[in-house]
A and B are shown apart, each in its own frame.
Chain A
Amino acid sequence: MHKALKKYFPVFVFPTLIPFVISFLIPVVMGIYLSFTKFTTVSNATFVGLENYKQLFSSGDNFLHALWFTVRFTVVSTLTVNLFAFALALLLTKGLPGTNFFRTVFFMPNLIGGIVLGYIWQLIINGLLSGLGVDITYSASYGFGGMILLTNWQLIGYMMIIYIAALQNIPREMKEVAAIDGANAWQSLRHITLPLVMPAVTICFFLTLTNSFKMFDQNYALTGGAPGRQTSMLALDIFQTFYGSVGSEGVGQAKAVVFFILVAIMAGVQLYFTRRREVDA
Chain B
Amino acid sequence: MKKLSFILLMALLCVFLLSSCGGMREGVYFLNFKPESAAAYNEIAAAYKNETGRSLRVVTAASGTYEQTLKSEIGKTDAPVIFQINGPVGYAAWKDYCLDLKGTKLYEHLSDKSMAIRDGEGVYGIPYVVEGYGIIYNKRILDAYFALPNRATNFQSVDEVNSFIKLKALVEDMTAHKAELGIDGVFAVTSLQSGEDWRWQTHLANLPIYYEFLDKEVDLGNKNDYKEIAFSYADRYKAIFDLYLNNSTTDPKLLGSKQVADSMAEFALGKCAMVQNGNWAYAQIADVAGNTVKPEEVGFMPIYIGVSEEESQGLCIGTENYFAINKNASPEQQAEGIAFLEWLFTSETGKRYVTEKLDFIAPFDTFDENEGPTDPLGKEVSEWLNREENYSVPWVFTVFPGQGFKNDFGAALLQYAQGNKTWEEVKAVFINRWKEEQASALQ
Contact = CB atoms under 8 A, between A and B. Distances in A.
Interface string A225-237: 1111100000000
17 contacts: A43-B75, A44-B96, A130-B254, A133-B251, A133-B253, A138-B418, A139-B420, A226-B256, A227-B256, A227-B414, A227-B415, A243-B403, A245-B403, A246-B89, A246-B401, A246-B437, A249-B71
A245 B257 contact: no
Interface in B86-104: 89-90, 92-94, 96
A40 B253 contact: no
Interface string A125-142: 010001001111111000
Contact of A41 (B71, B92, B254, B411): B71
B418 A227 contact: yes
Interface string A206-238: 000000000000000000111111000000000
B403 A138 contact: no
A27 to B, nearest CB: 13
Interface string B59-72: 00000000110011
B346 interface: no
Nearest to B437: A245
B355 interface: no
Interface string B326-362: 0000000000000000000000000000000000000
Nearest to A243: B68
Interface of A: 40-44, 60, 122, 126, 130, 133-139, 224-229, 240-241, 243-249
B414 A137 contact: yes
Interface string B186-211: 00000011110000000000000000
A42 B414 contact: no
Q: Which 8 A-B pairs have the closest CB atoms?
A: A137-B256, A245-B404, A245-B402, A244-B404, A246-B402, A41-B75, A247-B440, A228-B411
B222 interface: no
Nearest to A229: B411
A244 B195 CA distance: 11
B418 A134 contact: yes
B257 A228 contact: no
A248 B279 CA distance: 33
A140 to B, nearest CB: 10
A134 B415 contact: no
A40 B93 contact: yes
Contact of B407 (A40, A137, A244): A244
Nearest to A223: B194
Contact of B414 (A60, A226, A249): A226
A135 B89 CA distance: 34
Residue in A41, A224, A229 with the greatest tally of chain B CB atoms within 10 Å: A41
Given A135-B257, A138-B420, A224-B194, 14 more contacts: A135-B253, A135-B254, A136-B257, A137-B418, A228-B411, A229-B411, A241-B404, A245-B403, A245-B441, A246-B89, A246-B403, A246-B437, A247-B441, A248-B402
A40 B94 CA distance: 8
Interface residues of B, number: 40
A151 B237 CA distance: 40
B412 interface: yes
Interface string B22-55: 0000000000000000000000000000000000
Nearest to A140: B420
Interface string B414-432: 1100101000000000000
Given A138-B420, A228-B415, A243 B67 contact: yes
A42 B68 CA distance: 12
B408 interface: yes
Contacts of B370: none
Nearest to B411: A228
B402 A247 contact: yes
B154 interface: no
Contacts of A245: 401-405, 437, 440-441
Contacts of B67: 243
Contact of B436 (A60, A133, A225, A246): A60
A108 B88 CA distance: 50
A134 B253 contact: yes
A277 B241 CA distance: 61
Contacts of B414: 137, 226-227
Given A41-B74, A228-B415, A243-B67, A138 B404 contact: no
A262 to B, nearest CB: 24
Nearest to A133: B253
Contacts of A43: 75
B443 interface: yes
A243 B256 CA distance: 21
A135 B402 contact: no
B377 to A, nearest CB: 30
Contacts of B96: 40, 44
